[in-house]
Amino acid sequence: MSERFHERFPDYDVLDKWDSPSWNDQTRAVVNRRLHQVPDRRFLSEAEWQILEAVCERLIPQPDRRDRPVPIVPFIDEKLFKNQGDGYRFEAMPPMRDAWRRGIAAIDDEARARWGGGFRELPANQQDAVLRAIQHNDTRSAAWQGLSAKRFFSNLLLREVVSVYYAHPAAWSEIGFGGPASPRGYVRLGFDRRDSWEAEERYAR
């Protein structure tokens, strides 16, 4: 939940590969969808959406220089709307849709139990404190009854937020990733090795 981070690839933009041998038409179509076809809200209520957006802003604070933040909540909402599970469910965990609704409500109630206000109303340091407590299963709200706070945080919330974020080209540029590299493929896969067309790491000054 760090506020700032060093930019390791300040001049790199993965979209420069758009017309290169690295990407074929299928890859470009997938990337284009992630950039320009952001799903509308269809499952979460407006209040649930806004709470989850505030949570995402603390889990993955995005660079100030980024004109448009990577959309995370819309793709989580789409997965919930389509009821696209992962093919398994942890023991004693409610079904996916129910777990998300209860988890979001419990985060907001946990904020109220600790600080007297909903999650969105709290300053950043108190929001972080709420999430850190949930991560360690140190909860005060009765809303967590029947739902493991730690398991919801680690196995649903955090995993999904990170997965959606790092599926976006802006995040690829941030970490110097060249994208799917289809059809070109990667050749130099050893530690601390890179293909000549991959980004070269350096810190911004």
Average pLDDT, the chain: 89
Cα 188 → chain centroid:
28
Cα distances (angstroms) measured from residue 149 to each of 25, 107, 145, 156: 42, 9, 9, 10
Asked if pLDDT for residue 5 goes beyond 70, the answer is: no
d(CA 196, CA 21): 13
d(CA 190, CA 58): 34
* Of the ranges 83-92, 141-150, 188-197, the best mean pLDDT one: 141-150
pTM: 0.87
Residues 163, 76 contacting (CB under 8 angstroms): no
Percent of the chain with pLDDT over 90: 62
Cα distances (angstroms) measured from residue 108 to each of 124, 152, 173: 14, 14, 33
Q: For 120-155, how does the pLDDT look when each residue is reduced to its tens digit (9 = 90+)? A: 999 999 999 999 999 999 999 999 999 999 999 999
Phi-psi region at 154: left, alpha or beta (left = phi > 0; alpha = psi -120 to 50): alpha
pLDDT the model gives residue 102 = 97
Supply angle C-alpha 67, 71, 74, rounded to 5.
150
Average pLDDT over residues 83-90: 83
Rounded-to-5 percentages of helix, strand, coil across the chain: 50, 0, 50
Q: Is there a cis peptide before residue 183, judged by omega within 30 degrees of 0? A: yes
